[in-house]
Structure 1
Amino acid sequence: MEFRLLDYVSCVIVALMAIAAGVLLHRYTLPQRRRRVSLPPPPPGPAGNPLLGNLLYVIGPLRHNPHRGLAKLAGTFGPVLSLRLGLTRTLVVVSSSAVAHEALVKKDAALAARLVPDNVRALSYGATSMVFLPSSDRLWKRLRVVIGAGFSSSRGLDAIRPILERRARRLAERLRSPPSCSGGGGRPPVVNIRDAVNATVLNVIANVLFSEDVAVADDLKSLVVPVLEEWSKPSVCDACPLLAPLEHLLGSRRRISTHLAKLYKFFDQGIIERRLAAASRSEDHDDLLDVLLSKHSMSKLTRQEITTFLTDMFIAASDTSTVTVQWAMARLLRHPEKMEKVKAELATQLGSQDFVTESDLNKLPYLHAVVKETLRLHPAMPLIPREVVAEDGVSLGGFHMPKGTGVVVNLWTIGRDKAAWPDRPEEFIPERFLLADDGGGGHQKKQQDFFRPFGAGRRVCPGTDYTMRSVPLLLASLLHKIQWMLPDGLKPEDMDLADRYGTVLNLATPLHAVPVII
């Protein structure tokens, strides 16, 4: 009797699952002629499996370099295309500067939420992370105020200035120091550009947040990298929620939880506990951690929310600045004539001055043009994810977007859009950012509309002002009074500039170069 009852229950469950699948299948295969005539049509896209949609394509060809794969699809289906992931998720990809402006600026409120992939839900990270919280959330607004005060306001940027200048100077001194040029039989050493810059950036962020150095002593990098590697992998749960229990038991969420727990412990039991002990001795550091703990004392932030905020800052702020400097160096080494123009500008404006300061940056327009051109071709975050939250959906580019539709803006493709950049868009030409204005602000307006490496709208990167100060200063510090050579007789035209997309757009082959003191 018990066996029959269990058998009957199993049959009922299977039948209910079949009915649910049928309803979803019917929904996604409904003929166009039966749709509501008042709604615009859905975007075009590649045909897919009735049950899996385009999932196999997404976890296959699109897995490693989705920005390039989506660009190819846009060439076939147009600048607004749709992909179906399983039965429950539709993803719309925008590859047009005009539609991107529509999505990120004109209809910002309707697309103000971030897509939350399954693998960031480990240890409830996505529930307290400013990166993934909806912009309507009170915690998101509270944290944006904190980060704005520290990284966007005039007062915050003025406080960062001496820290950034000190660290940039130490980076230059380390590259010029005699010991670095005496190893290997008197030959200058080969420098891993990413590692050198990342150690500097990590310590800048650490000093702004909690007035400590961390890059070497605590090896924070070894804690951050495993989390980033796991987050960069796609999860089948995003398309097939029914597989979530198995994935969480054996898959990436379990591994992420292990790595994330170590990072949380570093911040909570290390940094925060030491600061609380210092507070008991009435020590005042006047940094962002003091601001966060002040809000904690007023019950406006929990310890976990502070820990997640610190994690956000190290993962987002350090990696984006690092890869931008690395890409700029790679492009300049690939184009020696551009490198000489930057160095000539530095020599003319700084003269005998040994080190670059932030006040010097206003005199270096070509350096800024190099940074902008680097961001155009290699945006640190090439894909900007959003989610339609408007109750009745919205239209983008003349196509209907139901509520819950994921929208991805492909900045990598837009940076190469001939309509936006008609002069050889695939080539590295910093001079395009030095073009004279037409008198009516037309050229500047076009750049403002097309050049969006940090996103736009209410979810624009809150560290934009900091990045546009730190990247030029670090790049200038690498170039001033240092001549760079490629190792092992490598010629500029033979450099490998292939990219690899993880959580940021990185060089597939790490950049190595040899510093020679001028």
Structure 2
Amino acid sequence: MQTSTEPIMVVWTLLPCVVVTLIIMVQILHTRKERAKRVSRESLPLPPGPKGHPILGNLLYVIGPLRHNPHRGLASLAETYGPIMSFRLGLTRSLVVVSSAAMAHEILVKNDAALAARLVPDNVCALSYSSTSMVFLPSSNQLWKQLRVTIGSRFSSSRGLDMTRVILEHHARQLTVHLRACSGKPVSIREAVSGTVLNVISNVLFSKDVVDLCDPRAQWFRGLIAPVLEEWSKPSVSDAFPFLAPLDHLLGSRSRISTHLAKLFKFFKEEIIERRLASNEKHDDLLDVLLARHASSKITLQQISTFLTDMFIAASETSTSTVQWAMAQLLHHPEKMEKVSAELALRLGSKDYVEESDLDKLPYLQAVVKETLRLHPALPLIPREVVAHDGVSLSGLYHLPVETGVVINLWAIGRDPMVWPQQPEKFMPERFLGDNAMHFQSKDFAFRPFGAGRRVCPGMDYTVRSVPLLLALILHKTEWRLPDGIATGGVDLNDRYGTVLNLATPLRAVPLVSTTV
């Protein structure tokens, strides 16, 4: 005779089997659903784009109309093919270009992890540079994370920025003294600012000047940096046809870059790193931090040389370019120059030099910097690469397979009439004043000159302090005019795309120092 507890015992005996069976069924259904979603996603097409050659793809665009000013050429093509378009380079390489704030948000935020790698052109692989460079390492790499923390210790943290401020203000004053000594004589704005910025960076890194502003012959360090920048700005056919890489390594840009990089690395190794190690001196600079990590086997000496190269190229070029563009626009628009000068005179009075603490009193000058970055972002094209194995779906309309290159055209977004309806091509600092004031990290992605996501520019906090300070010091108590023969408002504002976006014709102007200085 069965007892009343037997059915209960049977249920408890079978319950684990039922639970396991349900879990397996749910897992199978989930797997099938994900597989169906992936198949559906992968069946989506690439974005539209210009029809290409069967073998060359759209390579003729790259070596033709897009070679010298790709930011402008891509913006023009977007008017035909839309804010997201694709190109084929060679037989297999795909490149997707985004020219709208909405799509930039989807890539840099919603798909940040899947697109967290930088697109690595072949010419930065010389001497294995890209394999140790913070600029090109994937964000999952431990060295990349370590170097980002290192930069943050001086260029993002409050304590680090305070330490950097002392160096910045000292060298900015030297620039002011230099320009005032040149009163009445044409000067190259780019050369003067570049020398100052290089010295700021070199003192933050290893407590040493690398440029003498007063001696035009003492420009040996620029001679080490300039050739590398020039070669890196050139397109490489190896990016479209990898099988041609061995020939390029022997006769092309890789060979030339290797020569120039070797000279730069030799300087850092012999003149900076080895001398510091031999002296046993401590300067509380970034080199001390890096060498301490080297002593604990966390970083190699070669990786330190690569890091120093990254810092000089990234930090110095972007700041220099922005200050030069701001000066060019102000000289081209004298009425805007008068507003800046009036604000400086009103807010600073008889004070001889601008300090970082004064910048909050100068909203119009800050607006000038923002408007400059809107129209002339130092890095107009942000390159990324799809690293997710199953690719990326954009807006449920397009599928980007793994290893697809993605470029965000900040230059086009900054001039998009849908985002900037009020004369988007015109230099109007007023659009950043009052209720229209916009931060460098706008939520709608209309204004993101420093990028976004995990690869946002690590020096953003430093740049938004240094550029306004340099511009204010250049303008305070100094009147500027164009050289003889150039009419008021006659500045050549044509640009030239390279490692950064520069004026096609370097700006020369004449400082006239106030007699009260």
Q: Under a length normalisation based on structure 1, what TM-score does the superposition of the two structures give?
A: 0.89
Matched residue type, 2:457 = C
Check if 1:362 corresponds to 2:366.
no
3-state SS in 1 of match to 2:114? helix
User: Could you list the per-position Cα deviations for residues 157-193 of structure 1 after superposition, in whole angstroms to 9, with x for gaps in the alignment?
Assistant: 000111111111111111112xx34xxxxxx110100
Residue equivalent to 1:69: 73
What is the Cα deviation at residue 77 of structure 1? 0.2
SS in structure 1 of the partner of residue 249 of structure 2: helix
- In the alignment, the residues of structure 1 paired with residue 264 and residue 439 of structure 2 have an alpha-carbon distance, to the nearest angstrom, of 45
From 441, 451, 455, give the equivalent of 1:455.
451
Go from structure 1 to structure 2 and tell me whether the alpha carbon gap of 1:444 and 1:453 turns closer, same or farther (over 3 Å shift): closer
Give the equivalent residue in structure 2 for 1:433.
432
Q: Distance in 2 between matches of 1:93 and 1:170?
A: 42
What do the CA deviations read for 1:12-58 (whole angstroms, capped 9, x no partner)? xxxxxxxxxxxxxxxxxxxxxxx965533320000011111001111
Question: Residue 409 of structure 1: CA displacement?
Answer: 0.2
CA distance in 2, matches of 1:325, 1:380: 10
Aligned equivalent of 2:199: 203
- The match for 1:493 is 489
- Provide the rounded CA distance (Å) in 2 between the counterparts of 1:516 and 1:420: 39
2:86 is matched with which residue?
82
**How far does residue 476 in structure 1 lie from its aligned partner after superposition?**
0.3
Matched position secondary structure for 1:492: coil
**Could you give the per-residue CA deviations for residues 58-83 of structure 1, whole angstroms, max 9, x where no partner exists?**
11111111001101110110000000
Q: Deviations over 1:467-515 (max 9, x none)?
A: 0000000000110000000001412332210000010000000100000
- For residues 443 and 456 of structure 1, what CA distance do their matches in structure 2 show? 13
Correspondence 1:171-182 to 2 at 5 A: 171-177=175-181, 180-181=182-183
Deviation at 1:303, TM superposition (A): 0.3
Give the match for residue 333 of structure 2. Answer: 335
Equivalent residue number for residue 6 of structure 1: none
2: CA distance, partners of 1:486 / 1:451: 31
C-alpha separation in 1, matches of 2:343 and 2:350: 13
Give the distance between the partners of 1:218 and 1:368, measured in 2 at CA. Answer: 31
Aligned positions of 1:1-400 closer than 5 A: 37-38=40-41, 39-177=43-181, 180-181=182-183, 188-216=184-212, 219-279=220-280, 283-397=281-395, 398-400=397-399
Where 1:212 maps in the other structure, the secondary structure is coil
2:383 partner SS? strand
Structure whose alpha-carbon radius of gyration is higher: 2
The CA deviation at 1:442 is 9.7
Counterpart CA distance in 2 for 1:480 and 1:444 is: 25
| Unaligned stretches of 5+ residues in structure 2 | 1-37, 213-217
SS in 1 for 2:382: strand
Which amino acid counterpart does residue 199 of structure 2 have in structure 1? Answer: N
Measure how far apart 1:290 and its partner are: 0.1
**Larger deviation: 60-69 or 428-437?**
428-437
Give, in angstroms, the shift of residue 227 of structure 1.
Answer: 0.4
Deviation at 1:365, TM superposition (A): 0.7
2:355–2:469 CA contact under 8 A, matched in 1: yes
For 1:447 and 1:258, the matched residues in 2 are separated by 44
1:472 match: secondary structure:
helix
Q: CA deviation at 1:296?
A: 0.2
Partner SS state of residue 111, structure 1: coil
What is the alpha-carbon distance in structure 2 between the residues aligned to residue 234 and residue 44 of structure 1?
A: 23
Given the superposition, is the C-alpha separation of residues 420 and 215 from structure 1 closer, same or farther in structure 2, using an over 3 Å criterion?
A: same
* Structure 1 residues 435 and 417, CA gap change in structure 2 (3 angstroms): farther
CA distance in 2, matches of 1:218, 1:478: 21
Shift of 1:435: 3.6
| CA offsets 1:253-278 (integer angstroms, 9 cap, x no match) | 00000000000001011100111012
Q: CA deviation at 1:213?
A: 0.4
User: 1:448 Cα deviation (Å)?
Assistant: 5.7
C-alpha spacing 1:254/1:444, structure 2 compared with 1 (3 Å): closer
Identical aligned residues as a percent: 71
Between the aligned partners of 1:448 and 1:114, the Cα distance in structure 2 is 23
Give CA deviations for 1:303-323 in whole Å, capped at 9, x if unaligned: 000000000000110000000
Whole-Å Cα distance in 2 between the matches of residues 42 and 410 of structure 1?
A: 18
CA gap of 1:162–1:208, structure 2 versus 1, over 3 A, is: same
* Residue equivalent to 1:30: none
Residues 442 and 193 of structure 1, relative CA distance in 2, 3 Å threshold: closer
Partner of 1:14: none
Report if aligned partners of 2:440, 2:447 keep a CA contact under 8 Å in 1: no
Length-normalised TM-score, structure 2: 0.89
* 2:477 alignment partner AA: K
Task: Specify the code of the residue in structure 1 equivalent to 2:254.
Answer: R
Q: State the alpha-carbon separation in 1 of the partners of residues 94 and 199 from structure 2.
A: 41
Would you say how many aligned residue pairs link Structure 1 and Structure 2? 470
Unpaired segments of 5 or more residues in structure 1?
A: 1-34, 182-187
- One-letter identity of the residue aligned with 1:517: V
